[in-house]
């Protein structure tokens, strides 16, 4: 094993990357663009939903209800149609996503001690908005009910419940705070797979692989020299993402650097191993690229970094545990958001190590065998 020869291969690999100036620039722009997209789009909190209020009662109560909706911050009242039939076209054109219908006689029913139904119409073609808005509507109405009882002077004497709801770990409830730690791992996987998978195929395609082995370079030297540049690139990409996350998106960092570095380092080995395996199993670069798409999509969707694993059907939950990304996301969230400390992260670290040993090990053995042929 000669350090000099390894350095030469690393140098050669960098030269090759530099030959396509657009590619090198993209390698650094890509993670930032992804971060901005995911940071702003996926973690946009549902607020200010366009709402229409049909007030058929025109009473003190109906005005109060309207005011509670508009002051909640979740609903922005855009229209006051005079009848329910006008709602359909508004929703068809997508101008409103929620409607509140206060029927005639609401105040009279309340005065008579009856139950007064109020219609809440949500646009089900957007399931996230529909789920969130029905939750908020329930809260607003229940609070108004309790308020009305209080105002009758009962509260001073009557017993009641004083509930304090407290949000742990992420009190401002910003989605970005939990999205970006997961993104660091996802972007690492995406970009390393995209470049690494091409590395060996390209040489095979152009026939330079055989030329390489006419020279005194050994297989281990070749492998180390081949992988090192991509490890370095991945490290730079990861640091970029983490820095932009902490400084631009102001994601609080509650953990320690060592936990994150250890977890990401182990995860990176797994991803590089995967990339090498794809590269070995493909005959052309196009094939390699398609294989990456195949691996990437299910991993992204099932790792729980965008879509919560809890809302998946129970039969699929075991599948999510076979994906290394799931564990990396768990680990990073634990470290960033919860600051749980090394002790609580041991299971994640162990699983990630197991993945790394198995996948990277297989990749190295397979590469050596392939190179020996």
Partner 1 sequence: MRAALTRIAAVASNEFKHLRRDPRALATVLILPVLQLLLFAYAISFDVKNVPTVVLDQDNTAASREYLQTYRSSEFFDVLGSANDLAQIDQLFDQNKVRLAVIVPSGFARSLDSGEKAQVAVLTDGSEPTSAQLGQAYANALNASYDQRVAVAWADRQGLDLAQAGEIEPRLRTWYNPEQKSSDFLIPGLMVVIIMVVTVQQTAVTLVREREQGTGEQMTVSPLRRGELMVGKLLPWTLLAFADMLVIALVGLWVFGLPLRGSVGFLAASSVVFVFAALGVGLIISAVAPSLETANIVGLLIAFLPAFLLSGFAFPLDSIPTPLQWLSYAFPGRYMVAISRGVFLKGAGFSELWPQLAALTVYALVVLLASSLLYRKRSR
Our finding on whether 60 is near partner 1 (CB under 8 A) is no
Closest approach, Cβ 235 to partner 1, in A, equals: 19
Cβ distance to partner 1 smaller for residue 220 or 254: 254
Residues 83-102 that bind partner 1 (CB under 8 A): 91-94, 97
Closest approach, Cβ 112 to partner 1, in A, equals: 6
Cβ distance to partner 1 smaller for residue 6 or 98: 98
Residues 338-357 that bind partner 1 (CB under 8 A): 338, 340, 344
Our finding on whether 23 is near partner 1 (CB under 8 A) is yes
Cβ distance to partner 1 smaller for residue 10 or 30: 30
Residues 175-214 that bind partner 1 (CB under 8 A): 175, 177-178, 194-195, 198
> Phi and psi for 100 in degrees, rounded to 5?
-115, 125
236, 258, 261, 316: which one binds partner 1 (CB under 8 A): 316
Residue from 303, 308, 41, 338 nearest 176 by CA: 41
Our finding on whether 289 is near partner 1 (CB under 8 A) is yes
Rounded Cα distance between 240 and 80, Å, is: 48
Look up residue 285 and give its two tokens: 């670069």
Largest Cα–Cα distance of the chain, in whole Å?
96
Our finding on whether 110 is near partner 1 (CB under 8 A) is yes
Cβ distance to partner 1 smaller for residue 5 or 126: 126
Residues 160-179 that bind partner 1 (CB under 8 A): 160-175, 177-178
Closest approach, Cβ 222 to partner 1, in A, equals: 20
Cβ distance to partner 1 smaller for residue 170 or 367: 170
Q: Are 199 and 153 in contact (CB under 8 A)?
A: no
Rounded Cα distance between 256 and 346, Å, is: 14
Rounded Cα distance between 9 and 228, Å, is: 9
Closest approach, Cβ 35 to partner 1, in A, equals: 11
Sketch the per residue contact string, 120 through 149, with partner 1: x for CB under 8 A, - otherwise: xxxxxxxxxxxxx-xxxxxx-xxxxxx-xx
What's the gap between Cα 122 and its chain centre? 26
Contacts 24+ apart (CB under 8 A), 329-334: 329/181, 329/182, 329/185, 329/186, 329/303, 329/304, 329/305, 330/304, 331/259, 331/263, 332/181, 332/182, 332/184, 332/185, 332/260, 332/263, 332/264, 333/178, 333/181, 333/182, 334/255
Look up tokens 């395996």; give the residue: 277
The site that binds partner 1 (CB under 8 A) totals a number of residues, namely 124
Closest approach, Cβ 216 to partner 1, in A, equals: 29
């Amino acid at each position: 094993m000669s350090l000099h020869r390894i350095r030469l291969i690393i140098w050669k690999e960098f030269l090759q990357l530099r030959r396509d100036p657009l590619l090198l620039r993209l390698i650094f722009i890509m993670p930032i663009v992804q971060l901005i997209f995911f940071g702003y789009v996926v973690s946009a909190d549902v607020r200010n939903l366009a709402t229409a209020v049909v007030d058929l009662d025109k009473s003190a109560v109906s005005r109060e209800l309207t005011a509670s909706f508009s002051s909640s911050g979740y609903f922005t009242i855009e229209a006051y149609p005079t009848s329910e039939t006008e709602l359909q076209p508004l929703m068809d054109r997508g101008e409103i996503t929620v409607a509140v219908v206060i029927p005639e006689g609401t105040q009279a029913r309340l005065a008579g001690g009856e139950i007064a139904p109020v219609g809440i119409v949500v646009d089900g073609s957007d399931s996230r908005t529909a789920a969130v808005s029905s939750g908020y509507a329930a809260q607003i109405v229940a609070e108004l009910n309790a308020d009305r009882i209080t105002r009758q002077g009962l509260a001073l004497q009557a017993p009641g419940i004083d509930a304090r709801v407290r949000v742990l770990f992420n009190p401002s409830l910003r989605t970005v705070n939990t999205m970006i730690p997961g993104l660091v791992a996802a972007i690492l996987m995406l970009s390393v797979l995209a470049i690494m998978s091409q590395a060996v195929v390209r040489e095979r395609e152009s026939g330079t692989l055989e030329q390489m082995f006419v020279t005194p370079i050994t297989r281990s030297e070749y492998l180390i020299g081949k992988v090192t540049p991509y490890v370095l690139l991945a490290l730079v990409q990861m640091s970029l993402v983490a820095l932009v996350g902490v400084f631009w998106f102001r994601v609080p960092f509650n953990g320690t650097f060592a936990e994150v570095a250890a977890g990401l380092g182990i995860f990176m080995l797994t991803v590089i191993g995967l990339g090498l395996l794809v590269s070995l199993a493909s005959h052309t670069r196009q094939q390699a690229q398609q294989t990456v798409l195949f691996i990437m999509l299910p991993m992204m969707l099932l790792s729980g970094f965008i879509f919560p694993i809890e809302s998946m059907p129970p039969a699929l939950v075991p599948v999510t545990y076979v994906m290394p990304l799931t564990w990396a996301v768990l680990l990073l969230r634990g470290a960033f958001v919860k600051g749980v400390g090394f002790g609580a992260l041991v299971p994640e670290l162990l699983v990630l190590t197991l993945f790394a040993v198995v996948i990277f090990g297989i990749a190295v053995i397979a590469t050596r065998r392939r190179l020996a042929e």
